[in-house]
Amino acid sequence: MNGSQSILLLSAFLFSTGLLIVFIKRNAIMILLGIELMFNSANLNLIAFNTSRPQLPDGQIFALFIIIVAVCEAAVGIAIILKAYHYYHSAIPDQVSELKEKN
């Protein structure tokens, strides 16, 4: 249980770091990066919890799915960012504010 506890702590640290990156980084690429970090911490959690019932690999398979979804998500996200950069000449979401009231 001790081993999985330290993994859980690591995963919590990674999740917090990812969340922090999502909050404070201005660039959309960096935000995407933070999201990837949070995915991976979730994966770490799944794998860590799977160690307590080794007869079934369901946790690891779930982590594999997440990796695939994360790749797709990263591909789609970067495509959107590229498109937006193309259109707005900026990859910073705060500057893309056409709907917002100008003041």
Partner 1 sequence: MTAHLAQDSIVLYAALAALLLPLLSFAFSFLVFNRYSWIISIIAPVLLFLCFLSACFVLLHVSKEMPFHFQMSWFTVGDNEITWGLLLDTRATLMMVVVSSISLLVHLYSAGYMAGDSNIQRYFAMLGFFTFSMMGIVMADSLLMLFCFWELVGFSSYQLIGFWNERPSAAAAATKAFIVNRIGDAGFLVGILILWTYSGSLTIQEMSIADIPSFYLTVAGICIFSGVIGKSAQFPLFTWLPDAMQGPTPVSALIHAATMVAAGVFLLVRIYFLFTPDVLMLIAIVGAITSIIGAIGALLQFDIKKILAYSTISQLGLMIMGIGAGNSLASELHLYTHAFFKAGLFLCAGSIIHVLNQASREKTLDVQDIRKMGGLAKRMPVTYLAFLIMAAGLAGIPLSAGFLSKDAILTGLLQGEIIFLIIGFGISGLTVIYTIRLLWFTFHAKDSLPQFIQKEQIGDPAPIMKIITLTLAAASLWLMISWNPIDFNGWTSQYAQGKILINSSVITVASAIMILLISLAAYLYFRDKTLSEKTSDIMLNNFGFDSLYNKIVVMPMLKLSNRIQTLDQKWIDGLLHLTAYSQVAIAHFMSWWDRSVIDGSVNGLAIVAKGTGSITRSFSSGKIQTYILWSMLGLIIFIVWIMF
Which chain residues interact with partner 1 by CB under 8 A? 19, 22-24, 31, 93-94, 97, 99-100
Q: How far is the CB of 101 from partner 1 (least distance, A)?
A: 8
Q: Pick the closer one to partner 1 by CB: 22 or 29.
A: 22
For tokens 């959107």, the residue is: 80
The dihedral over CA atoms of 86, 90, 96, 98, expressed in degrees to the nearest 10, equals: -60
Closest CA to 31 of 42, 39, 22, 43: 22
Q: Pick the closer one to partner 1 by CB: 55 or 103.
A: 103
Q: How far is the CB of 67 from partner 1 (least distance, A)?
A: 23
Write the single-letter amino acid at 45.
Answer: N
Q: How far is the CB of 1 from partner 1 (least distance, A)?
A: 21
